[in-house]
Amino acid sequence: MASNLLHRLRPLLAALALAPAGAQESAAVQALVEAAAELNRRVPPTLGGYRARLESEISIGNRRAEGMEMAVSLEQVASELTWDRTGAYAQRIIGYRTQALGTNVATIGFFRSGWIIPSLYGNRLALLFGRDTAEAGRRRQQRQGRDPLYAVHPLATDRARYYTFTGGDTVQILRTPTREVPIVRLTVALRPDVPAGSVVFVGDLDLDASRGALVRLRGSFAVVQPPDPMLGLLRAGRPEGIAYVEAVNAEVDGSYWLPAYQRFEVQASSAMLGESRAVFRIVTKVIDRTITAAPAGVTVGAADDTLAVRPFRLIVDAPDSLDAFRAWTAPLGALSTETRVEDFDDVAPNRLRPGGPPRATIETERFGDVARFNRIEGLFVGIGGVIRLRDAAPGVTLRAAGGYAIGERTVRGRLVAERRREVSQWSLRLQRSLDLTNDFRNPFDSGTTLGAVFGRDPYDYVDRQTATVQWLRFLGERRGGQLRVETGFARDRAVTPSVDQGLFGDDFLPNRAATSGRYRRTMLTLDLRPDISLEYLRPGLGARLHYERGDGELTYQRAEVRLTARANPGSFIVASRLDFGVASPEAPPQQFFELGQQQNLPGYGYKQFAGDQAAVWRSWLSYSLPVWRAPIYVTDRLWLPPAAPALALGVQAGWTRASNATAAATVTQLGSEATGDPRASASLTLRMFGGAIGVGVARPIGQAGKLRWVVEFGQRL
């Protein structure tokens, strides 16, 4: 059968190469699909089944509107997979470890089945969170009004009811030890009359052009919804989630293609989050594989020798076995380090792609544009909208957001026009904002949104009006860096609190000194891997260089350098960050550097130190003890992360200097002092649950000070 298919494929591929671009929805494409579907329908006769060892990384995080990603939870799972040509499949977890920024649960409790697509052969694809398809399970689901979660394979025998196909271009030449493999790409789209409730795939198929085998499947899954009578703007404003998949096969024994790498990703967004997205990601790599014989009783090539929808299981080894596992091949975090939300933009649903008719949505860039509370504004409420012109003006987006600070009785907002190219972006911004004057913040710290309601507002503010032009260029093959140049006009205005306290806690502190005035503002920023930070879990190296100057009523220059490193070798976590800044001695107070208890120097007062020169160094070393590394079973659907005790040593050091009498007067105006010699502190804590909770002691270094108990939530440095 395979040789007949190869004979049919060769002239079809030749016809595709000669077909004009506008004729790619053609008989040749359809014939290619039919031939590939026939080959994909049955498991190759020489493949009985296989066993494989897998390593997976499960991460939970967020992608901010600025384009940076953070991970708040990482889980690494080692497992064994068994599959045979009848469709029988089981995944067994044999190793587990985790890191987290806060208390959480072990996500393996979310799964009743495994998360791997064990084969791309057949008519249906078993998806993430698939349900048991045993007869009793089907009856139970029918009583509950639910169907098993299987997607219609784009090469299924009933594909014509769901899909259309275009493309057919050769996009790549793969080189294996024995041959060169031309790869042909087909684009899968939906028919306009797909039945509601169908679970479907939209995206790209890569085929081995010489044999018709499916090499890669990449796109999104969705449940087809019935027509919605809601207005377009309101419909676009609802929360939504999109499930993406990338399944890459490798050729085995020169005869068939089996899984080598898979990535599942759910991206959730809403109008209140704007371009921010919550991200749940599973990246899996096949470590090794053994081909097995066909199960007993199966006659290869017989009429009943075909894949079927069968029960599949997720099995978790006993806690002592999970504790003993040490055969990891990659450090925690390594599998997902190079992944980005934007990786799937080219196969995103049409409404999220840059092309198409113009789209208008009710949307803001961040939740704080809709509601926030702080001691200056009191309660702020707002709304925003976005118009993406798409094909009418490629790359052009218009944004508007505005609202009212009730306590301050002030209107704030912005108008933005931007034009995005492949690796660069121009934008014009007119804005009135309440900017933070805190220094050396982590890359994701844009202020508390509602923390002040509960009495926590560790920031100081300046009212700032700006009219600027910005040019941004993305750097690197995977756009892991940014170069940003901005120039324009600004006006700063000192502000005072409009509320005395939140619902709980003591009275708010007064807002620290700021000088009002107009000036021309120029900034240059180079960010390399801004997603690498001490506060979040991705390993790697990051750096930032920022230069800013003002000319006019407020005249100053200011520069900052930041270096960050994080690694997870074996049972250790090593992280370090160094910040250095220098400003003009004559700079206004809002441009000086301030350090203190909640500004990278714990153990001291709120912004106790300030200066026109400053440096902060923070390092952390953690060792996970070789006990209690298994997740804790509570119920079938609820697992707690392992206790995983770890010893952690943290060191923080800070220094500020007033370089002349003018700078010293500004430090006094702020209510601070210069440190003189560097101030340092150290802590030793016992961390639990992947580092989410810590209890220990801390004390100053190099000066008199009491040993104090500390209780920490999250990996704070």
pLDDT digits (tens, 9 = 90+) for 240-249: 778 899 999 9
Mean pLDDT of the chain: 85
100 located within any domain:
yes
Cβ atoms of 390 and 358 within 8 Å: the answer is yes
Kind plus residue range of the DSSP H or E element containing 667: helix 661-670
Domain range for 253 is 2-352
One domain for residues 369 and 331: no
For position 366, what pLDDT does the model report?
83
One domain for residues 323 and 414: no
For residues 555-594, one letter each, b for 16 or more C-beta atoms within 10 angstroms of the residue's C-beta and e for the rest, the string is ebbbebebbbbbbbeebebebbbbbbbbbbbebbbbbbbb
Kind plus residue range of the DSSP H or E element containing 573: strand 572-583
Confidence bin at 416 (pLDDT 50/70/90): very high
- Those residues whose C-beta lies under 8 Å from the C-beta of residue 592, and which sit 6 or more positions away, are 583, 610, 611, 612, 663, 666, 667, 670
Total domains, the chain: 2
One domain for residues 229 and 306: yes
One domain for residues 300 and 363: no
Grouping H, G, I as helix, E, B as strand and the rest as coil, residue 717 is coil
Q: How far apart are CA 232 and CA 235, in angstroms?
A: 5
Running DSSP on this structure, what letter comes out for residue 437? -
Q: Is the dihedral of CA 321, 323, 329, 334 positive or negative?
A: positive
Cβ atoms of 267 and 241 within 8 Å: the answer is yes
- Considering the entire predicted model, what is its pTM? 0.84
Nearest to 163 by CA among 203, 217, 218: 203
One domain for residues 387 and 344: no
| Number of alpha carbons in the 13 Å side-chain half-sphere of residue 641 | 24
- Give the end of a domain, one of 551, 566, 597: 551
**Higher pLDDT pick, 324 / 666:** 666
Res. 485: pLDDT tops 70: yes
Confidence bin at 205 (pLDDT 50/70/90): very high
**Higher pLDDT pick, 171 / 582:** 582
Grouping H, G, I as helix, E, B as strand and the rest as coil, residue 346 is helix
pLDDT digits (tens, 9 = 90+) for 566-577: 998 888 999 999
One domain for residues 367 and 347: no
Res. 145: pLDDT tops 70: no
Nearest to 594 by CA among 607, 604, 613: 607
**Higher pLDDT pick, 351 / 655:** 655
Nearest to 446 by CA among 436, 456, 432, 455: 436
Helix 27-41 × helix 2-18 angle, to 10°: 160
For position 234, what pLDDT does the model report?
45
Residue 383 burial by CB count (10 A; 0-12/13-18/19+): exposed, middle or buried?
Answer: middle
DSSP calls for 175-187: E-SS-EEEEEEEE
One domain for residues 316 and 427: no
Residues facing residue 74 across a β-bridge: 59, 99
One domain for residues 8 and 118: yes
70 is written with which tokens?
A: 């953070």
Grouping H, G, I as helix, E, B as strand and the rest as coil, residue 432 is strand
- Give the end of a domain, one of 500, 529, 551: 551
617 located within any domain:
no
For position 534, what pLDDT does the model report?
79
pLDDT digits (tens, 9 = 90+) for 23-77: 445 788 888 899 899 888 888 888 999 999 999 999 998 887 777 788 888 999 9
Res. 304: pLDDT tops 80: no
- Those residues whose C-beta lies under 8 Å from the C-beta of residue 635, and which sit 6 or more positions away, are 109
- Give the end of a domain, one of 494, 523, 551: 551
For position 228, what pLDDT does the model report?
57
399 located within any domain:
yes
pLDDT digits (tens, 9 = 90+) for 525-584: 999 988 888 777 889 999 999 999 999 999 999 999 999 999 988 889 999 999 999 999
Q: How far apart are CA 345 and CA 353, in angstroms?
A: 7
Res. 346: pLDDT tops 70: yes
622 located within any domain:
no
